[in-house]
Amino acid sequence: MYAAKVEGDKYRFGEYELDMARHQLRRGSEPVHVEPRALDLLRHLVEHRDRVVPKNELLDEVWGDRFVSEAALTTALRTARLAVDDTGSRQQVIRTVHRRGYQFVAEATVIGPGAPPVEPGREASVQPAVVGGPLGADRQTIRFCRAGDGTRIAYAAVGSGPPLLKAANWMSHLDLEWTTPVWSHWLRGLARNRRLIRYDERGCGLSDWAVPGFTFDDWVDDLETVVEAAGLDRFPLLGVSQGGAVAVAYAVRHPERVSRLILAGAYARGRQVRARSETEGAEAALDLDVARVGWMHQNPRFLRVFASQFLPDGTPEDWDEFTTFQQQTTSPANGVRFLEQFARIDVSDIAHEVACPTLILHSRDDERVPVSEANELAALIPDSRLVLLKSRSHLLTAFEPAWDEFLSHIDAFLTE
């Protein structure tokens, strides 16, 4: 029913080596004691790391004809995670996919009889297959450039082919994005058959966190800096969430540079700007006040609610993963500064000056940025088309049908 095991293989991931022939897990030179059922579970997940493994399959493979409850699977899963220094909230090795099963997501190297042929002295790298393709953090190049005010900006390129530049958005980290389910599938999907260039905005990720300026114009200036540093001439530009407004402003400043514009979950006006009544203004102010308190005090209840706005169909584990990643990307003080600036964004008076074909993609039931904002962008930008996706997510996950549709629309748009 399932692919046959290759008993001679060894799999290396992080500090660990899983020896199939010896049925042994080692950390460095030391063996790691793992209960046999948990080790069998780990073996099966590693062997089938290119896909999500359903619960029933794990029960069949690990326990065979023996009837056991899902509690036994949960216990074995917890034991396997502890053995490889993983947890249900971190999920950097074994990822829980809500309602579908589990997937081994750590970057692995296979050696032994089942490994593909490689050059002498080199090992074959196997990347976690979320959307396919041999792309990963070890394949990207990170460089640094300096903005006009001296701020150091980190940027990276991965993949090969025609370029696609992604404007920065909040909650990014050029290195850690490869290991989080929030962004890893975006990187692999966007870098298929093209060279994806992206960067961490000031105050975030690998770029400087302590900066002299923190305004919308600074963000557009930083995009200009990265374009020059990367040696780009004319290219398509992608803007996600508030990065969409930055991309719009850049496209207006440099119509000779931007060949096509893609906006995903974007908006022209921040929440404070688009408030049309006293009630909406009060709601926007309250939202920002709650955000200030939540971020400054790292309130876990607020942070989980905030995460649920981005991933409304996620599990508590998904929200915890999202929150942990946020905390790794910026400081609490900068988190507040970002949210204050987002609320004041306004490119509605210049969006009509975008001169290139524009694709606007938006989740129909987005709970963070309402679909009315996508409608406004489509009405403002002359040569634009709007595609509404069947999703509630602000950031599409890898395991919803809208994700494949999202990539298909981008691929088609960029090859026209």
- At 85 the pLDDT is 85
| CB burial readout 187-204, b (16+ within 10 A) else e | bbbbbbebbbbbbbbbbb
Residue type, 19: D
Rounded Cα distance between 150 and 142, Å, is 18
Q: What is the mean pLDDT of each run of 10 residues along the chain (416 residues)?
A: 53 88 85 85 90 88 74 82 80 83 87 45 32 55 93 94 95 87 89 94 94 94 97 97 97 98 97 79 74 72 78 81 84 86 94 98 94 97 97 90 93 93
With the CA atoms of 55, 134, 88 and 76 taken in that order, what torsion angle do they form, in degrees rounded to the nearest 10? 40
- At 352 the pLDDT is 98
- At 65 the pLDDT is 62
The position carrying tokens 């029960």 is 59
- At 36 the pLDDT is 83
- The pTM (predicted TM-score) of the whole model is 0.69
Q: How far is CA 25 from CA 47, 48, 123, 126, 354, in A?
A: 14, 17, 19, 19, 56
pLDDT in tens, 130-151: 333 345 665 788 999 999 999 9
Q: What are the beta bridge partners of residue 158?
A: 196
Element (H, E) at 95: strand 94-97
- At 164 the pLDDT is 98
Rounded Cα distance between 229 and 146, Å, is 9
* Residue 228 DSSP one-character state: H
SS (H, E, C) 335-365: HHHHHHHHHHCECCCCHHHCCCCEEEEEECC
Does residue 395 contact residue 310 with C-beta atoms inside 8 Å?
A: yes
Rounded Cα distance between 278 and 272, Å, is 11
Residue 102, both tokens: 């589990």
The CA-based diameter of the chain, rounded to the nearest angstrom, is: 70
